[in-house]
Amino acid sequence: MSAVSSTELLKNAVHQDSLMSRQGLLQRLFSVWFNGFVYNQIWEDPKVDLEALELTSESRMLTISSGGCNILNYLKVQPAHIVAVDLNQYHMYLTRLKLAALKHLPDHNSFFDFFGYADKPENVDNYYRYIQAHLDQDTRNFWEGGFLKPKRINYFRKNIYEYARFGYFVRFLHGIARLAKANQKELLKAKTLEEQDAIFEREIAPFFDHWIVKWVGNLSFSVFSLGIPPQQYDYMKEESGGDLVNLYRARAKRLFCQFPIQDNYFAWQALGLRYDFENRQAVPDYLKVENYDVLKNNLNRVETHITSLIDFLKAQPANSLDRFVLLDSQDWMPPAVMTALWQEIARVGKPNTRIIFRTASPASPIETALPPALREKFVYEQERSERLLQQDRSAIYGGFHIYHKPA
């Protein structure tokens, strides 16, 4: 699909208010900003996803792709089929690069060099030697650049996790931390949760009191690089009572203090823009050597499309899928679009279909957005959703939601 098509898809998803309104203007600024390379990894915890999804060898999934990590993490349990879609073509180019690298790089070491270390000089040579010929032309153009276009494949010799808009934003935050004399990387050396808590209070908590953080943290466009659209920002502002910096402080403490730092790769990315190379515990499952052969041998189960969830579903036969991963897309959608999406899920979803998604605030918008007759087709597993939210190591969302379509 062309860049123009991707742009139109984003406009359709984000532009909900008039251009002449403040909210409408912010929505258009966001769609311009988001129509680029935003995420270098996904920020939803696959351990939580897999527990909620209850995948079997018969499962046929539809998921938003984002950075593609989730697809490979799901693949380790070998569902029958995974369809990945995304409005953002650049995220799909990263996903397709990961899939081709897993298939064509010669061994696990070269694959880990590419996406684990992500800063080895030989990564670029390996791209041209093993991967390039197996990519579609649009994906190649994105990574190889051209006249007045960056050669993004070179990110993999500089550390890809410092790039993309998310990487730039985290580097900006690290710059503020240096001004505030906060040594956030000290937390990576902690041995216990008690040590993590003490280091957080000493080195990180004061960061949120810095005047730059207080100023920037309450601006709606300041979180565009986190992939947070204006409507999602509004939910977060409502939840925080207007003080978003305190909300960020609470979620940062959960990220850095609620889970052992030794295996929380989300915390390693936030603190150091890298994974744990030495012990290789704080790395995504798709990069672990014990999963390598299973993933490589099951790549034929994955297909990718640059399109919207609704457009893809409209082309599918009834009762053809049974697992849906919507990421945080429900926060982007007005009630009419949510209704159209869930009507398609009700049609395409088999009996015992399971659906998961995340939201900026704790409440599920499905409870009020859907017409009663459509809402009654799904069961909300609210207690389990709340329990699994507390186990999500990325800790950046306010809500995690599980629904199922009864038999």
pLDDT band at 1 (very low <50, low <70, confident <90, very high): very low
More confident residue, 365 or 214: 365
Is the pLDDT reported for residue 28 higher than 60?
no
Is the pLDDT reported for residue 19 higher than 70?
no
Distance CA 386, CA 166 (A): 27
Is the pLDDT reported for residue 11 higher than 60?
no
Q: How big is the CA angle at 327 (ends 326 and 329), to the nearest 5 degrees?
A: 70
More confident residue, 362 or 17: 362
Share of the chain above pLDDT 90, in %: 69
- Residue closest to 73 by CA, chosen among 105, 45, 106: 45
What is the number of domains present in the chain? Answer: 2
**Phi, psi dihedral angles at 198 (to 5 degrees):** -65, -45
Q: Final residue of a domain: which of 248, 272, 296?
A: 272
pLDDT band at 3 (very low <50, low <70, confident <90, very high): very low
Asked if residue 338 is part of any domain, the answer here is no
The string of pLDDT tens digits covering residues 155-211 is 999 999 999 888 988 898 899 888 888 888 999 999 999 999 999 999 999 989 888
The string of pLDDT tens digits covering residues 310-353 is 999 999 999 999 999 999 999 888 899 899 999 999 999 999 99
Query: CB under 8 Å to 164, separation ≥6 — which residues?
Result: 37, 38, 39, 40
Distance CA 363, CA 360 (A): 9
Q: How much is the average pLDDT of 258-272?
A: 96
Asked if residue 336 is part of any domain, the answer here is no
The string of pLDDT tens digits covering residues 97-119 is 999 999 999 999 999 999 999 99
More confident residue, 267 or 173: 267
Distance CA 146, CA 148 (A): 6
Asked if residue 199 is part of any domain, the answer here is yes
Share of the chain above pLDDT 70, in %: 88
CA 193 to the chain's CA centroid:
26
- Predicted TM-score (pTM) of the model is 0.90
Asked if residue 239 is part of any domain, the answer here is yes
Range of the domain at 243: 164-272
Asked if residue 334 is part of any domain, the answer here is no
Q: Final residue of a domain: which of 251, 272, 293?
A: 272
Asked if residue 254 is part of any domain, the answer here is yes
